[in-house]
Amino acid sequence: MPAALEANNLTKRYGARTVVNGVTFAVEQGEVFGLLGPNGSGKTTTIRMALDIVRPDGGSVSLLGGLPPKDALPKVGYLPEERGLLRKERVADILRYLGMIKGMPRAAAEDRAQEMLHRVGLFEHRYKRVEALSRGMTQLIQFAGAIMHGPELIILDEPFSGLDPINVQLMKALIREQHARGATVIFSTHIMSDVEELCQRVALISDGALLLYGRLSEIKKARGINGVRVIADRQPPPPPGLETAIQDGSAEYRFVNGGAPDSVLRAYLDAGIAVEKFELMVPTLNDIFIQEVSKARSSRPSAAETSAGVGLRRLK
């Protein structure tokens, strides 16, 4: 099956700064794909190159099996990172307009706009001007505009940022609906829980370079077990080489310099402590993200140091 999006050695430079550096990945048709990375990592530039908004300085990117942009873009729905609609426009008008420029006949676009407004729970606001809506509402309208023509490929740049938890749930439900009807969904984020909830495969970009790419389950599996969690009355002296965190009778032991689960269990047994619960810990995507980004940045200490701090702080 041809890829929904294929980037080959994609490179973009702004002056002396390389913002995307030889990124290669492919998104299969019909999957939900996560494009991860800290702020300023090159995710948005990668998306803009894919959509022919900006041109790459090196490499190539193709959509929907290599269709020329002119043919592919009408089949794509796009929610930009920086949201904005014409403030003086009425909600129903702007949705109809967004449908029409994607090739929908006027009447169909009008009907679909009403339908989408019902779906995102904003039907009663259809005659309001955009400027009268909240930021979250505007974001939902823009999302509705991106999907109203039933695109084959949906690209969402930071779709959940700025939404309240209720609307995040709604947005996730809409993404699942689109996926269920067969659309490919790519979204960029630095919120790892969203990725774990929705994505089958991911690509992690930091400072313009691809750090990780593949099936989420396989990425996690490849990391192996990175610690154990033990629930007991008390804790024995921690075995050497482990990072220990104790809270309310639950102790977490992370394998920093090697270590194995049986060494922890043996310490409890040797101390004669009854173990209530013993579970193996696999790394969360958040752990993997922080670890990979930190590792990549520590190997490039110059410019990366400062921005790594910013990126990691925002993750918390």
> 10 with 20: CB under 8 angstroms?
yes
Question: Which residue lies nearer to another protein by CB, 86 or 280?
Answer: 86
- The least distance separating another protein from the CB of residue 161, rounded to whole angstroms, comes to 14
- Enclosing H/E stretch for 60: strand 58-63
Residues 271-290 that bind another protein (CB under 8 A): none
| 238 contacts 267 by C-beta, under 8 angstroms | yes
The pair of structure tokens assigned to 104 is 């929908």
Sign of CA dihedral 105, 110, 114, 117: positive
Residue 142 is inside which H or E element, if any? helix 135-147
In the complex, the smallest distance separating the C-beta of residue 196 from another protein, rounded to whole angstroms, is 28
From candidates 26, 54, 168, 315, binder to another protein by CB under 8 A = 54
Q: Please tell me whether residue 185 binds another protein under the rule CB under 8 A.
A: no
Strands 32-36 vs 201-206: parallel, antiparallel or unpaired: parallel
Longest distance between any two alpha carbons in the chain, whole Å: 76
| Sole binder of another protein in the list 9, 60, 101, 256 (CB under 8 A) | 101
Residue (95 or 171) nearer to another protein, CB: 95
Comparison of 88 and 316: residue with beta carbon closer to another protein: 88
Q: Rule CB under 8 A: choose which of 28, 31, 81, 111 binds another protein.
A: 81
The answer to whether the beta carbons of residues 41 and 210 sit under 8 Å apart is no
Residues that bind another protein (CB under 8 A): 14-15, 19, 45, 48, 51-55, 70-71, 73-74, 76, 78, 80-89, 97-98, 100-103, 142, 145-146
